[in-house]
């Protein structure tokens, strides 16, 4: 077979004649199903097909009746009623994906070949715009049936060799994988689909298992919480011990990092992360914010001002004072903050210091007077 990278396959496959059956060959878990779904989306867009469904059949789990349907009599004639999924492929354009072709029983495999070669099954013809894809797994510790070379010649057949960038690009574009997983794999390519160990029962990472882990972490709500007691065991069950340790340590590291830019420009996005930081890491975040404003901001706009206020409001009382001290050391108090933000900052710090309410009101009045004089002077 011809070896081909995913990015090339995605360009070529949608251009093939509609009656050409495509065979993908590759190791378990490299993402053949996702690639077929991606191609189906490209075909639907190019041909203006709405509801272009991907019918995914795993032939290794099908009996002969699941594949060819069941017979019925019409007078003296016996006919086969097709399975519901196959009839859909006859009634409308779909993408029919016959997965694990080389793990099917001989009876199921013969029926699948009739679909592939003749585009019909027991007299039921596929819709003219239905596309047929098949896949076979290579390697692994499971039993496979040999493919007849004469039958292979009837396919447009390729060995799929996805690289890490292919997967990262797909994960980002499809938004099917959490950012923590994507960035971890981007910087730790060896963990995407490393060679499997000699232990056939060992759990090991693959493209598929990382996607499934991502869905599980998001579903449970712990994708950003490495210290949650569910995070580690969830990872263990999907990607195994070694990958779990590396991924867990990575997420702990990035969760401890919040940039000054994120706080000032995108505070709502990092609010939950900041809420989980301890005092030491909050101090680091304050320093980063002060440094970012000093180097990059000449005047705080309304959005930045609100983000600054929200961040300060989140801080414990003693850290609000420390934060303002650091801002002062960086000269940030000289920035032309809006009146409301400046007033709130001063008030917030005084309240944090347990200054009596009447004294706070005096300071507020003094601050307002100074702000008015500055405005008149301008």
Each residue's pLDDT tens digit, 253-304: 876 678 888 888 999 988 888 887 777 778 888 888 888 887 777 777 778 8
Angle made by CA atoms 58, 134, 192, in degrees to the nearest 5: 75
Structure tokens at 363: 């300071």
Positive/negative CA dihedral, 289, 292, 297, 301: negative
Strand bridging mode 22-27 / 156-160: parallel
pTM of the model: 0.61
Strand order in the sheet with 131-138: 2-4, 156-160, 22-27, 131-138, 95-99, 54-58
3 state DSSP class of 367: helix
pLDDT number for residue 141: 56
User: Average pLDDT in the 301-312 region?
Assistant: 84
Residues 6 or more apart whose CB falls under 8 angstroms from that of 123 comprise: 79, 80
Angle made by CA atoms 258, 260, 263, in degrees to the nearest 5: 75
Sequence-ordered alpha helix ranges (H) in 126-230: 149-152, 164-174, 179-187, 207-220
Q: For 218-250, what is each residue's pLDDT tens digit?
A: 999 998 888 899 999 999 999 999 999 999 999
Asked if pLDDT for residue 96 goes beyond 60, the answer is yes
Q: Residue 228, class by beta-carbon neighbours within 10 Å (0-12 exposed, 13-18 middle, 19+ buried)? A: middle
The residue among 148 and 349 whose pLDDT is bigger is 148
Structure tokens at 172: 């980002």
Asked if pLDDT for residue 185 goes beyond 60, the answer is yes
CA dihedral 74, 80, 81, 82 (to 10 degrees): -160
User: Average pLDDT in the 116-130 region?
Assistant: 93
Distance CA 213, CA 238 (A): 6
Sequence-ordered alpha helix ranges (H) in the chain: 6-12, 32-47, 64-68, 84-91, 106-118, 149-152, 164-174, 179-187, 207-220, 231-255, 260-275, 279-296, 302-314, 317-329, 339-352, 357-377
Distance CA 250, CA 181 (A): 10
The phi, psi pair for 148, rounded to 5°, reads -70, 120
Nearest Cα residue to 87 out of 33, 127, 132: 127
User: Average pLDDT in the 105-111 region?
Assistant: 89
DSSP readout, 67-112? HH-EEEEETTEEEEEPPHHHHHHHHS--EEEEE-GGGS-HHHHHHH
Please tell me what DSSP assigns to residue 125: E
Are 240 and 209 contacting, i.e. CB atoms less than 8 angstroms apart?
Answer: no
Residues 6 or more apart whose CB falls under 8 angstroms from that of 140 comprise: 27, 28, 196
pLDDT number for residue 337: 52
Asked if pLDDT for residue 377 goes beyond 70, the answer is no
Angle made by CA atoms 55, 182, 35, in degrees to the nearest 5: 25
Nearest Cα residue to 290 out of 314, 315, 259: 259
Local confidence band at 362 (pLDDT 50, 70, 90 cut-offs): low
Residue with tokens 């307002």: 368
The phi, psi pair for 3, rounded to 5°, reads -85, 135
Distance CA 311, CA 305 (A): 10
Distances (CA, A) of 268 to 44, 201, 229: 36, 43, 25
3 state DSSP class of 259: coil
Please check whether the domain covering 2-162 is classified as CATH 3.40.50.1820: no
For the chain, what percent of residues have pLDDT higher than 90? 32
């Amino acid at each position: 077979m011809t070896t081909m990278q995913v990015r090339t396959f995605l360009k070529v496959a949608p251009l093939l004649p509609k009656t050409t059956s495509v065979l993908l060959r590759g190791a378990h878990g490299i993402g053949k199903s996702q690639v077929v779904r991606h191609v189906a989306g490209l075909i639907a867009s190019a041909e203006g097909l709405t509801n272009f469904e991907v019918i995914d059949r795993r032939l290794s789990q099908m009996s002969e009746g699941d594949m060819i349907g069941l017979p019925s009599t019409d007078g003296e004639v016996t006919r086969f009623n097709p399975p519901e999924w196959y009839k859909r492929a006859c009634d409308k354009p779909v993408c029919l994906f016959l997965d694990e072709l080389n793990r099917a029983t001989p009876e199921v495999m013969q029926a699948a070949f009739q679909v592939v070669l003749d585009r019909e099954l027991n007299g039921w013809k596929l819709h003219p715009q239905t596309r047929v894809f098949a896949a076979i797994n290579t390697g692994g510790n499971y039993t496979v049936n040999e493919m007849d070379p004469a039958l292979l010649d009837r396919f447009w057949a390729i060995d799929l060799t996805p690289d890490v960038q292919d997967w990262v690009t797909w994960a980002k574009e499809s938004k099917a994988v959490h950012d923590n997983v994507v960035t971890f794999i981007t910087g730790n390519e060896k963990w995407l689909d490393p060679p499997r160990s000699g232990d056939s029962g060992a759990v090991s990472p693959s493209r598929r298992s990382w996607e499934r882990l991502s869905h599980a972490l998001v579903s449970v709500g712990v994708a950003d919480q490495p210290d949650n007691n569910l995070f580690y065991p969830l990872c263990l069950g999907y990607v195994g011990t070694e990958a779990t340790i590396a991924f867990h340590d990575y997420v702990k590291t990035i969760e401890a990092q919040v940039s000054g830019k994120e706080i000032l420009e995108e505070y709502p996005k990092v609010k939950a992360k900041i809420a989980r930081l301890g005092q030491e890491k909050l101090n680091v975040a304050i320093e980063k914010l002060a440094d970012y404003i000093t180097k990059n901001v000449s005047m705080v706009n309304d959005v930045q001002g609100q983000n600054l206020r929200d961040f300060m409001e989140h801080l414990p009382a003693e850290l609000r004072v420390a934060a303002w001290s650091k801002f002062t050391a960086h000269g940030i108090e000289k920035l032309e903050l809006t009146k409301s933000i400046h007033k709130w900052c001063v008030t917030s710090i005084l309240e944090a210091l347990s200054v009596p309410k009447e004294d706070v009101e005096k300071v507020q009045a003094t601050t307002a007077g100074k702000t008015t004089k500055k405005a008149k002077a301008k």
